[in-house]
C-alpha cells in the first residue's frame, strides 16, 4: 500500500537554526530556555566615602522549592550617582553561607551545612578558596561574589557582616538570585508552579552605613 502524503526532508539540528545556538533557541513550540531571575534585593547601603560606622550584619534566605534546580546566588556592587568607582573589595565584608532545613513540626529553619565560611569564622568576600588549605581567602582582584548550588535543602541562608572602620566609595551591595533546571526540562505548568515558590526573604533589615553611626 502506498501513500500520497509527501515526505518532508529532515534537517539535522534544525531546531537550532534561526536563531542559531542551543542556549537561546527552542525546540518545544516556543517555550524557550527555562531560567528564572528574581528581582534584585539591596542588602547594604554605603552612603559616605568614609563610612566609619561600628559595623553590622544582614541575613537573607533564598528559598529552594525543588531539588532539581540549580540555584545561583550573586552579591554585586551597585554604584550610587557620583561614585562610579565604587567597589566592595575594600569594604571588609565577610559571609556565612549555609544550607538550611525547615523543621516539619516547628517550621523553623535550621542550618545544616556550611557552604562558605562558618558562623564563628565567616569567609571574606569577594574571595576564593585557597587550594592549599581549602579555606576561603580574600581576592582583591574580584569585585563580586557568586556561588551555584544544587541542594535537597529547603533554603540557602547567608549573613553578610560589615566590620571595617575605614572604607571608601558610595554604593550598595545587591543580592541577585537565578534558578535554572539542573539537567531537566520541566513541563510548562510544573515550571510555573516552581517559579511561584521561589523567592528571597530578608531576615534582618537592610544595613545603612553612614558616617558617624
Under the banding of pLDDT at 50, 70 and 90, the label for residue 102 is very high
pLDDT digits (tens, 9 = 90+) for 61-82: 999 999 999 999 999 999 888 7
- Would the pLDDT of 165 be above 80? no
Which CATH number does 33-208 carry? 2.60.120
| Cα angle 110, 120, 72; round to 5 | 55
Taking alpha carbons only, the member of 60, 134, 144 closest to residue 96 is 60
Give backbone dihedrals phi and psi of 107, rounded to 5 degrees, phi first: 75, 5
Q: Where are the domains of the chain?
A: 33-208
Which residue carries 565567616 as its cell? Answer: 122
Burial of 156 per CB tally in 10 Å (0-12, 13-18, 19+): buried
Confidence of residue 162 (pLDDT cuts 50, 70, 90): confident
In tens, the pLDDT along 15-25 reads 333 333 333 33
Q: Under a CB-based contact definition with an 8 Å cutoff, are residues 149 and 71 in contact?
A: yes
Helix and strand tally (H, E) in the chain?
A: 1, 14
Amino acid at each position: 500500500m502506498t501513500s500520497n502524503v509527501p515526505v518532508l526532508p529532515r534537517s539535522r539540528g534544525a531546531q537550532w537554526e534561526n536563531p542559531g545556538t542551543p542556549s537561546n533557541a527552542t525546540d518545544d513550540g516556543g517555550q524557550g530556555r527555562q531560567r528564572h531571575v528574581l528581582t534584585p534585593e539591596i542588602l547594604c547601603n554605603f552612603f559616605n566615602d568614609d563610612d566609619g560606622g561600628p559595623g553590622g550584619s544582614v541575613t537573607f534566605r533564598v528559598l529552594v522549592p525543588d531539588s532539581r534546580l540549580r540555584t545561583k546566588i550573586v552579591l554585586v556592587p551597585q554604584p550610587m550617582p557620583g561614585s562610579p568607582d565604587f567597589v566592595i573589595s575594600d569594604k571588609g565584608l565577610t559571609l556565612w553561607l549555609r544550607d538550611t532545613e525547615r523543621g516539619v513540626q516547628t517550621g523553623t529553619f535550621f542550618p545544616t551545612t556550611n557552604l562558605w565560611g562558618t558562623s564563628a569564622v565567616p569567609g571574606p568576600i569577594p574571595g576564593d578558596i585557597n587550594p592549599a588549605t581549602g579555606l576561603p581567602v580574600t581576592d582583591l582582584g574580584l569585585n563580586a561574589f557568586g556561588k551555584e548550588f544544587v541542594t535537597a535543602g529547603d533554603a540557602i541562608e547567608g549573613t553578610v557582616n560589615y566590620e571595617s572602620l575605614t572604607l571608601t566609595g558610595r554604593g550598595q551591595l545587591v543580592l541577585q538570585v537565578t534558578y535554572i533546571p539542573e539537567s531537566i526540562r520541566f513541563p510548562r505548568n510544573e515550571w510555573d508552579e516552581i517559579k511561584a515558590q521561589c523567592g528571597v526573604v530578608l531576615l534582618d533589615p537592610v544595613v545603612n552605613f553612614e558616617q558617624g553611626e
